[in-house]
Amino acid sequence: MKILITGISGLLGSEVAKVLSIEHEVIGLDKGPQSSEFKTLNIDIVEPKATYDAISKINPDLIIHCAAYSDVDGCEKDPDLAYRANSLGTRNICLACQRFDTVLAYISTDYVFSGIETSKDGFSEQDTPNPKSVYAKSKFAGEWFVTNLLNRFFVIRTSWLFGHKRPNFVSNTVDALQSKRETCQAVDMISSPTNVSDLSKAVAKLCQTNLYGLYHLTNSGFASRYEIALFIANVLGCPAAKIKKTSLKELNLAAPRAKFSGLNNMIWRLNGFKPLRPWQEAVTEFLSDKI
């Protein structure tokens, strides 16, 4: 297959490209730094004509749309930028997909849930989203364009991604602990930390089927940011004294966050796929070169 990956230089896009390039031709689309490993077109997806022309020329069999403006607090401060990038950018890709009925896999987020209505098993694909932040609303609007403009698509919601390519909450916690700096972690912010390596393999597997639809895909299990920080400290052998308990209210972040946004990967399991490994195993592997 010929596969186009948006945001190929990012945390998830780079890992998806690495996995799929073993058996497929991979081309990148990115407005940022160009990938040194893959042919990459410097295109900003907020430009409708440039996006349509580039995708039409490549004529891929599959597009995996990883690009997003994911600065949650930044989105709250600049809603227009958030909606242009996450909503209209996705629309522009969908319009290009229409020409050749190209399959699209859109990466979305657990933030589409408010965390008010919940269960111990997490939000399933059948639960009704209730986005509160601008970031969440703009990503959910992207989902709307995908599901209303296309016939063949995957909408994949995931959560709390971590990996080696870009700074993230896991790597930032590691840096703080190893530098013996104080780190404040919320006890009332709970979801599933997800290793981009595991997610990328799952996305690659799913996208090579015709089992289209909405999926939740995360590592197994839920934990608070505070619990995850304690786990990291234990694995690294660092003292936990620098990890300070806090709450979302005390953090006073610009954008609202759900207290619980854990995802139930129900449709993935019902289709016979093996659940992704527990988040503890995924985090431990990530930390293996830092011990």
Look at residue 8 and tell me whether its pLDDT is greater than 90: yes
State how far the Cα of 105 lies from the Cα of 10, in Å rounded to an integer: 16
In a domain, 70, yes or no: yes
In a domain, 77, yes or no: yes
pLDDT band at 34 (very low <50, low <70, confident <90, very high): low
The pLDDT of residue 215 is 98
pLDDT in tens, 142-186: 999 999 999 999 999 999 999 998 899 999 999 999 999 999 999
Mean pLDDT of the chain: 95
Look at residue 275 and tell me whether its pLDDT is greater than 80: yes
What CATH number is associated with residue 36?
Answer: 3.40.50.720
Dmax (CA) for the chain in angstroms is: 57
Average pLDDT on 109-121 reads: 83
52 is in which domain, residue-wise?
A: 2-167+193-222+261-277
In a domain, 232, yes or no: no
State how far the Cα of 215 lies from the Cα of 108, in Å rounded to an integer: 10
In a domain, 233, yes or no: no
In a domain, 286, yes or no: no
Look at residue 235 and tell me whether its pLDDT is greater than 90: yes
Look at residue 6 and tell me whether its pLDDT is greater than 90: yes
The pLDDT of residue 289 is 79
The pLDDT of residue 120 is 78
In a domain, 185, yes or no: no
In a domain, 49, yes or no: yes
Average pLDDT on 82-96 reads: 98
Domains: count for the chain: 1
Look at residue 221 and tell me whether its pLDDT is greater than 90: yes
Look at residue 33 and tell me whether its pLDDT is greater than 70: no
HSE, side-chain direction, 13 A CA sphere, residue 90: 30
In a domain, 234, yes or no: no
Look at residue 35 and tell me whether its pLDDT is greater than 70: no
DSSP secondary structure, 220-271, as one string: B--EEHHHHHHHHHHHHT--GGGEEEE-HHHHT-SS---SB--B--HHHHHT
